[in-house]
């Protein structure tokens, strides 16, 4: 039931985002299978609950009065400006697993019923804006395995438990998923610490499990959650120096200087030190080089690189 409800909410959001004019309740019922399968009364109740659930997670469904031949009728839409992200310049932290992650997201969360909603829009005489359709696609990066479980938990208002970097397990009341600087975060209440916390999905080290019954989590108002997001958001990373062995012809895209290194390096490789906007950015540069860069130091950068490689391997295992 939880997965079915999540799919219905996604279908509703897509339908209300890509249309160029407000849609009536009758049109929405015809487009979305879950609405068609129930009685008129059950549909009305379900639609009202879905609108309230979307509002709770920060998506407002706007009501518009339509001037029709038979009198005034109410139409619905989601203003794209309210939910679209500003242009994002990815740091390439997700680029190494982008294609794989996108495939996992499409296969594990958005099934063919989402595409069906767009087909029904055209059948109803509403031509979807294909640019808007692209904008609604979600790329989750190396943290995709936990994304769908946490998304459903926020929809179902279910408490969750998962392992976090450092080997500690966290019990969390999930409030909202948030995309910040190309990375996905979960904002919610850390139950053990009894305080709001921000959890980066790529640092979740185990499967996500639900604790207790759905509906047990009470979320603050959207404005309160947004305030927590702004307060808890990590600061911009400071520039760090990383020592690497670089194959001939490889361009790093950052300023480098020759460096001394006592350990062994492949023949023809040059040892250099370069400045990056954090160790994640350095790890991305190494991965993109496809084995033509060896990250030598510091150890913290090597640890992050190993975590990134392991995350991609887990992603491939889950996709197979």
pLDDT at 159 (0 to 100): 94
Where exactly are the structural domains of the chain?
2-139, 142-232, 240-319
Residue 244: closest CA among 233, 258, 223: 258
Cα separation of 215 and 296, whole Å?
A: 49
Cα separation of 183 and 311, whole Å?
A: 14
pLDDT at 189 (0 to 100): 93
What count of other Cβ atoms lies within 10 Å of the Cβ of residue 241? 15
CA 282 to chain CA mean position, Å: 22
pLDDT at 109 (0 to 100): 43
Q: State which H helix or E strand residue 49 sits in.
A: helix 40-56
pLDDT at 316 (0 to 100): 63
Structure tokens at 185: 């975060």
Residue 170, helix vs strand vs coil: strand
CATH number of the 142-232 domain: 2.30.30
pLDDT at 228 (0 to 100): 80
DSSP state of 69: T
As a residue count, the chain comes to 320
pLDDT at 182 (0 to 100): 59
Which residues, given as ranges, of the chain have pLDDT below 50? 90, 92-115, 118, 122, 124, 126-144
pLDDT at 4 (0 to 100): 72
Residue 312, helix vs strand vs coil: helix
């Amino acid at each position: 039931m939880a997965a079915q409800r999540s799919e219905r909410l996604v279908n509703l959001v897509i339908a209300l985002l890509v249309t160029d004019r407000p849609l009536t309740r009758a049109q929405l019922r015809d487009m979305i299978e879950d609405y068609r399968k129930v009685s008129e009364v059950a549909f009305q109740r379900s639609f009202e609950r879905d609108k309230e659930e979307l509002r709770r997670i920060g998506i407002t469904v706007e009501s518009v009065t339509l001037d029709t031949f038979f009198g005034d009728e109410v139409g619905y839409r989601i203003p794209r400006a309210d939910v679209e992200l500003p242009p994002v310049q990815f740091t390439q932290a997700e680029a190494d697993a982008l294609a794989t992650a996108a495939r996992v997201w499409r296969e594990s969360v958005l099934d063919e019923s989402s595409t069906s909603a767009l087909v029904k829009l055209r059948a109803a005489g509403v031509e979807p804006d294909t640019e808007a359709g692209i904008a609604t696609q979600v790329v989750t990066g190396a943290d995709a395995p936990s994304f769908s479980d946490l998304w459903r938990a926020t929809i179902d208002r279910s408490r969750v438990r998962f392992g976090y970097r450092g080997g500690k397990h966290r019990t969390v009341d999930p409030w909202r998923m948030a995309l910040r600087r190309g990375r996905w975060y979960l904002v919610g209440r850390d139950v053990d610490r009894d305080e709001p916390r921000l959890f980066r999905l790529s640092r979740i080290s185990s499967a996500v499990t639900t604790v207790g019954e759905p509906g047990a989590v009470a979320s603050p108002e959207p404005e309160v959650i947004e305030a927590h997001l702004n307060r808890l958001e990590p600061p911009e990373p400071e520039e760090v120096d990383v020592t690497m062995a670089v194959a001939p012809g490889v361009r790093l895209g950052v300023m480098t200087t020759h460096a001394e290194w006592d350990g062994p390096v492949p023949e023809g490789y040059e040892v250099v030190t370069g400045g990056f906007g954090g160790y994640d950015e350095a790890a991305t540069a190494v991965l993109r080089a496809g084995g033509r860069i060896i990250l030598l130091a510091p150890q913290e950068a090597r640890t992050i690189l190993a975590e990134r490689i392991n995350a991609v391997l887990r992603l491939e295992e889950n996709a197979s």
